[in-house]
Amino acid sequence: MSSRQAEIATALNVVPPFADKTALLAEIERRKTFIKDCLRNAGLKVLVLGISGGVDSLTAGRLAQLSVEELRHETGDAAYRFIAVRLPHGTQHDEHDAQASLRFIRADEEDTVNIEGSVHGLGEQVSHLQKLSDARRDFVVGNIKARLRMVAQFAIANANNGLVIGTDHAAEAVMGFFTKFGDGACDLAPLSGLVKGQVRAIAQQLGAPENLVFKVPTADLEELRPGKPDEEAHGVSYAEIDAFLHGQPVRDEAYAIITRTYDNSRHKRELPLAP
C-alpha cells in the first residue's frame, strides 16, 4: 500500500476486506446497530430512503427495514417504521429493477414522488440554464434532480419526525460521485466505509436477487445518456477503486485517476468554507 492509498483509506474509514463469512455477518450486525442507535439517540422512530433500483439503495433499504423490525421487537413499540420512497423523473427506464428492489426490501410503507414537474418548473424559472449547451444543461439539470429527490425525502421525514438515510460508501466517496447537497445530504449513511464489492457481499448475504446485486451501477441523472454507467463516468472500474482503497496494486493510470479525482472533489466531503 502506498502512503497515499493509506492516507485516503484512513480518511474515508475504509473497512478492511472481509476475512470470512463471520466477519461479513459481524459487519451487518454493526451496521444495523448503528442505524438503531441513530434513531434512539435522536429520539425518533421513522427512517426514510429513496429506492432507485441499484444495489446501494437496495442494501441500505433492507438494513433499515431489518433495523426497525428489531427495534419493534426489542421495545414493543410499533411506531418504529421504515418508509421506502420511489423518486422517478417521469418514467424511469429501469423501473422494473426499482420495483424488484421494493419487493426484496419489504418496507413498512412505500411512497412515490415523481419529481419531473418540479424539475421542469425550476428549470423554466432559472434563466441561466437557457444559455448553456445541451450537454452542459443536461449535466446541471441532473444535479437539480438529485437535489430535488433529497428535498422530497427530507419533506417526508420532516412530516413523520424521521431521519433520512443516505447511500454513500467509500467507493463513491473517493470519487466524489454524489451531488453536493443532493444525494450527499442525509442524516445517516449506514454504508459509509464500505467498498462496492462489500456492499454487494452484504446484499447477497441478505438474500437480494443476483441480477440486482450485480446490476451495472448508474446514477441515471442525464437525459442525453440515460443509464450511463458509473464506471464510464469514473474512467476506472469499481474493481480498481475497491483494490485501491484496500491498498492493493492498481494500474498507474487508475491510481492517477483515483487520486486526482479524490483531490478535486475534496470540497464535497467537507463542511462549507468559513473564515
Query: Of 56, 97, 230, 240, which is the active-site residue?
Result: 56
Of residues 27, 172, 230, 242, which has the active-site annotation?
172
Annotated binding residue 55: yes
Residues whose CB falls within 8 Å of the CB of residue 191, separated by 6 or more in sequence, listed in order: 31, 56, 59, 60, 167, 168, 169, 199
User: Is residue 208 within 8 Å of residue 58, measured between CB atoms?
Assistant: yes
* CB 101, CB 58: distance < 8 Å: yes
Q: Does 118 count as an annotated binding residue?
A: no
Please say if the pLDDT value at position 256 is more than 80: yes
- Statement: residue 154 has pLDDT above 80: yes
Q: What is the arithmetic mean of pLDDT over 87-115?
A: 96
Predicted local confidence at residue 258, as pLDDT: 97
Mean pLDDT rounded to a whole number for the chain: 95
Give residue limits of the domains in the chain. 17-229
56 is in an annotated binding site: yes
Res. 26: pLDDT tops 80? yes
Please give the DSSP secondary-structure letter assigned to residue 51. -
Residue 146 has pLDDT above 90, yes or no: yes
8 annotated as a binding-site residue: no
CA distances to 61, 95, 145, 182, 208 from 231, in Å: 23, 21, 20, 20, 22
Check whether 54 is labelled as a binding-site residue: yes
Is 145 annotated as contributing to ligand binding?
no
* pLDDT at position 43: 98
Asked whether residue 53 is marked as a ligand-binding residue, the answer is yes
pTM: 0.95
Whether the Cβ atoms of residue 219 and residue 94 lie closer than 8 Å to each other: no
Active site residue 231: no
Averaged pLDDT for residues 139-158? 96
| 27 has catalytic annotation | no
Give dist(CA 198, CA 52) in Å, integer: 19
Output the nine-digit C-alpha cell for 147. Answer: 437535489
- Structurally, at CATH architecture level, domain 17-229 sits in 3-Layer(aba) Sandwich (3.40)
Q: Do 39 and 30 meet the contact criterion of CB atoms below 8 Å apart?
A: no
User: Is 228 marked as a binding-site residue?
Assistant: no
